């Protein structure tokens, strides 16, 4: 029986099959075991994968120092953004954004179909959803039998009325409950029953409003002026603001859980 090397492959070429090619590239075939004509190829592949040469490690010191610095820098950056690394894979940023958008769309569509959006938004939602074949009521339809009480800059009667009430509040010589009842009655065209039920415990003494921490004093001062200091309007907002501040401080620090 002849060896591969004894055969004249020029006269009788032996096709290279896929598996033999695979074995040659994996280094599993020595040149002497290679098919006819492929001994040189096998030697060439051996040469390509020969032992490392010194010049191939010439930049070792420089590159290793840079790598070490890069590793430390990267790890310090990762540890300084703990929320990102703490976030589970399922809630990574793109997915969380997509989920939030989908939830907002679903919520808006639901509110629109119920006619519960503010007027302008209801109109926009109605027009947009109509384009995709979904019928939801417009702002006017959703108002149903409620009167249109929205004011406009053209309505000067309300401005004049406000001015009159303001004048009355600052010029009247009445005090306490009587002052409040008079102003309230004037402001409501006689519909108000202020001052007719119960009695004021403090008489005309001004009540200190507890909204010192609130950012806005507009509502308080208006009510205060109109009521002669008996109003507590605005105190709810101030209290709410402080409460939110406390809740923010109580939020857990996820970064420390690592």
Q: Closest approach of Cβ 27 to other proteins, in Å? A: 7
Write out the binding residues for other proteins, residues 63-92 only, by CB under 8 A. Answer: 63-72, 74-75, 78
By CB under 8 A, the residues from 11 to 50 that bind other proteins are: 16, 18, 21-22, 24-27, 37-38, 40-41, 43-50
Cα first-last separation, the chain = 70
Nearest approach in angstroms of CB 29 to other proteins is 11
127 sits near other proteins (criterion: CB under 8 A): no
Among residues 72, 18, 27, 60, the alpha carbon closest in space to that of 45 is found at 27
**Rounded alpha-carbon distances, angstroms, from residue 130 to 35, 127, 244:** 73, 5, 40
Among 30, 57, 98, 100, binds other proteins (CB under 8 A): 57
Task: State which residue, 34 or 187, has the beta carbon closest to other proteins.
Answer: 34
C-alpha to C-alpha distance for 227 and 243, rounded to whole angstroms: 27
DSSP code for 52? P
Helix (H) or strand (E) holding 80: helix 60-80
3-state secondary structure of 187: helix
Q: Which residues of this chain interact with other proteins, rule CB under 8 A?
A: 10, 16, 18, 21-22, 24-27, 37-38, 40-41, 43-50, 52-53, 56-57, 59-60, 62-72, 74-75, 78
């Amino acid at each position: 029986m002849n060896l591969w090397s004894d055969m004249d492959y020029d006269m009788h070429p032996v096709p290279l099959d896929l598996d033999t090619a695979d074995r040659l590239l994996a280094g599993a075939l020595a040149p002497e075991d290679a098919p006819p004509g492929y001994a040189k190829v096998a030697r060439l592949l051996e040469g390509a994968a020969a032992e490392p040469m010194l010049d191939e490690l010439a930049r070792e010191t420089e590159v290793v120092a840079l790598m070490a610095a890069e590793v430390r820098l990267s790890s310090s950056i990762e540890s300084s953004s703990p929320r990102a690394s703490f976030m589970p894979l399922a809630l990574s940023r793109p997915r969380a954004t997509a989920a939030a958008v989908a939830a907002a769309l679903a919520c808006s569509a639901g509110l629109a179909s119920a006619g519960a959006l503010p007027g302008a938004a209801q109109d926009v939602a109605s027009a947009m959803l109509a384009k995709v074949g979904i019928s939801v009521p417009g702002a006017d339809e959703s108002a149903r039998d409620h009167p249109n009480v929205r004011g406009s800059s053209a309505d000067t009667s309300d401005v004049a009325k406000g001015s009159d009430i303001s004048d009355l509040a600052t010029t009247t010589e009445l005090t306490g409950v009587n002052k409040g009842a008079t102003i309230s009655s004037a402001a409501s065209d006689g519909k108000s029953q202020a001052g007719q039920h119960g009695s004021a415990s403090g008489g005309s003494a001004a009540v200190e409003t507890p909204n010192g921490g609130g950012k806005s004093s507009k509502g308080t001062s208006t009510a205060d002026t109109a009521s002669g200091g008996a109003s507590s309007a605005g105190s709810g907002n101030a209290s709410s603001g402080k409460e939110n501040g406390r809740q923010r401080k109580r939020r857990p620090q996820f970064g420390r859980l690592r």
